[in-house]
Amino acid sequence: MQDRPAIRIWELVVLAVVTGGLIWLCLGYILAHPDSLPEHSGRSIQKGVVIWLRLASGLPLLSDDYPPLSFLVSAACYSLFGLSHLVALGSQVIFLVPLLVGAWWIGREIGGRGGGMLCLLAAAGNPWLPINLTAYFLEVGTLAMVAVFFALLLASRGGRVPGPTLGLGLVLGLGLLSKWSFLFFTAPALLWPLFLAWKAGRGSRLLVMGCLACLALTATLFQNQPLTSEPEFPLVPFVRATGAWAWLAVGAAWIRRRDGWSPGVGLSWAFTLAFLVCGWWYFLSAPVLLYKAGSDLAQSFPAREALGVMAGTLGTCIWLAPVWLALGTLAGLVIRPLRVPTLALLSGILASTVLYSFAGVPPHPRYILPATVLLTSLGFGWWGRVRWFSPILAPLLLVLGLYQLGVSFPERMAPSQRWTLGLTGHGELSWFIPRYNLIGIPDQEIGPIAERILAEMEQTGELRITTVIQPGARGNVDALMFEGLLRQRVILVEYFMPPEPAPHPATSLVLIVGHPEIQGTWLSEYEPIATWGEDPEGRWTLYQHPTRREHHQTREGSEHLPWPTPLLGS
């Protein structure tokens, strides 16, 4: 690292222009295909709507298997602008502001003003941003928090500067509220301030041991929560954990008064602040989280396939990404002041890649998205130290960044694609010049399907529908949830696999995507009532059981609410 130069007005102007331009582009992508809603988005958006309605009705948050930061941001947007396709997906665009500010500051810490501009432009030109922002993925919020975390970690000089160190604790808590996988990208980097705190003297060393003891106690109290049918907030364990962190903060204050500021004092206060920000939600959701962790670890996705997707995503987050990463890592290890920052950034990339690849996580590019900002920072931040290189590289990053984001250029100005190689299933992304292309409109328009399903649900009094997606079929049935929300109605989508131990689906309505031929006799009990699409792989067929019904009281007690009470209590 180097001494931070004073911030110039032109830096803030460039930061504001790049941020505003990227927000405008990403909102344009969402508007370009209002009927497109990628996988999982409908279910995730529904969680945000539940939080919005509960808070508006004066009800507390419920336990959940995913942290609420993105959902809270979306709920605030719904309160201001109402619920729509643009607001639901556009609420994620807010995270671009902390992302780009964090990337810019990481570059300033590594390479001064030039490094800040290069990291800003590299992060903004990441073609995976529009791909993930036109869906609703929690990793977008985690990406922003990871960028700000590393910016504050470098600014704090490993916990030796008070202000950024306290900010680090706040961002650590917010990052854990974005998704628990935030720790995969940041935990290895915390070894730096822990090491400095251990070397800072006896008082600081005692605080390090206190931090580790409080972490162990909190983890023990968290894991001891029983799974009950009617979970309540575990007040006693939470108070015990809070008391331990409070005593640690008081001890840090006493040692600071005696010995002055040290990394141990900073870490103690930062960890305490992080617990106060996110601890309440983790204790509230402990049984659900532990159950989900067990089910996730039981998955058996091939490690080689997952590793290929992780490495392919990192390799296409900027043009020639493997080359820039190799050069940046080599330069960071050779330049002595950059060794620790380089190892911190590199540890976030390697730890998350290894954990995701070998933990049975589904091979999807969104999981490794937060590591892309670490790669661009490693690849471009140090070039700010090379005289006259940043003014030469910055225009190239700007032009290619716009091209990678899908901006159209005149034919004579468009970068050549002669050497690009198709690597992923997203448009023309490649390791040489990755480029974002607008995702095509889905095979089926979900609106009419949702209308028919809602009409049938109105007659039967049910809220749930079972879906069966045949192998090789195309269909995002989670989008039905979002279509129901737009109509202020509830559609709960459940899945049924042909080799299920249950003899038949639990609902009277069944939606089959693809060929209706299924092994088993339960389908013969159902009657087809509607079909959409002629392509066998994209055909949607709605079935109904003539007698079996699962009634729900959707109207009782909901006269004062614009939405059915089952959604508020789900």
Decide if 95 contacts 144 (C-beta within 8 A).
yes
Bridge partners of 21, per DSSP, are none
Return the structure tokens found at 529.
């009532």
Angle at 180 between CA 177 and CA 181, to 5 degrees: 130
Decide if 19 contacts 125 (C-beta within 8 A).
no
Helix 286-297 and helix 263-284: axis angle, to 10°?
90
Can you give the pLDDT at residue 419? 35
Q: Cβ contacts of residue 529 below 8 Å, gap of 6+?
A: 456, 542, 543, 544
Q: Cβ contacts of residue 97 below 8 Å, gap of 6+?
A: 19, 144
Consecutive H or E run containing 530: strand 527-532
Q: Cβ contacts of residue 305 below 8 Å, gap of 6+?
A: 363
pLDDT per residue as tens, the chain (570 positions): 667 788 999 999 999 999 999 999 999 988 887 666 666 788 888 889 989 988 988 888 888 889 999 999 999 999 999 888 889 999 999 999 999 999 999 999 999 999 999 999 999 999 999 888 888 999 999 999 999 999 999 999 999 999 999 999 999 999 999 999 999 999 999 999 999 999 999 999 999 999 999 999 999 998 877 666 566 788 899 999 999 999 999 999 999 999 999 999 999 999 999 999 999 999 998 888 887 777 776 677 888 888 888 998 999 999 999 999 999 999 999 999 999 999 999 999 999 999 988 887 888 889 999 999 999 999 999 999 998 899 999 999 999 999 999 887 665 444 544 333 333 444 445 778 888 876 555 556 788 888 888 888 888 777 788 888 777 666 778 888 888 888 878 788 887 765 555 567 878 888 888 776 655 577 788 888 888 877 766 788 888 888 776 655 444 433 344 555 556 665
Consecutive H or E run containing 29: helix 9-32
Consecutive H or E run containing 333: helix 321-334
How far is Cα 423 from Cα 435, in angstroms, rounded to an integer?
Answer: 11
Decide if 399 contacts 281 (C-beta within 8 A).
no
Match 């980097």 to its residue by tokens. Answer: 189
DSSP string, 136-147: T-THHHHHHHHH
DSSP string, 24-76: HHHHHHHHH-TT---TTHHHHHHHHHHHHHHHHTTPPPPP-SS-SHHHHHHHH
Category of 528 on φ-ψ map: left (φ > 0), alpha (ψ -120 to 50) or beta: beta
How far is Cα 49 from Cα 36, in angstroms, rounded to an integer?
Answer: 19
Distance set, CA 332 to CA 118, 316, 340, 426 (Å)? 16, 22, 8, 32
Can you give the pLDDT at residue 546? 83
How far is Cα 96 from Cα 316, in angstroms, rounded to an integer?
Answer: 19
Can you give the pLDDT at residue 510? 87
CA-based nearest residue to 285, from 329, 229, 222, 237: 222
| Sign, Cα dihedral of 534, 536, 540, 545 | positive
Which residue blocks in 335-445 are alpha helix, DSSP H? 339-358, 369-380, 389-404
How far is Cα 115 from Cα 386, in angstroms, rounded to an integer?
Answer: 9
Decide if 119 contacts 103 (C-beta within 8 A).
yes
2: exposed, middle or buried (Cβ count in 10 Å: 0-12, 13-18, 19+):
middle
Decide if 79 contacts 52 (C-beta within 8 A).
yes
DSSP 513: E
CA-based nearest residue to 163, from 253, 255, 270: 270
DSSP 543: E
434: exposed, middle or buried (Cβ count in 10 Å: 0-12, 13-18, 19+):
buried
Can you give the pLDDT at residue 487? 83
Return the structure tokens found at 485.
């929300």
Match 């204790």 to its residue by tokens. Answer: 283
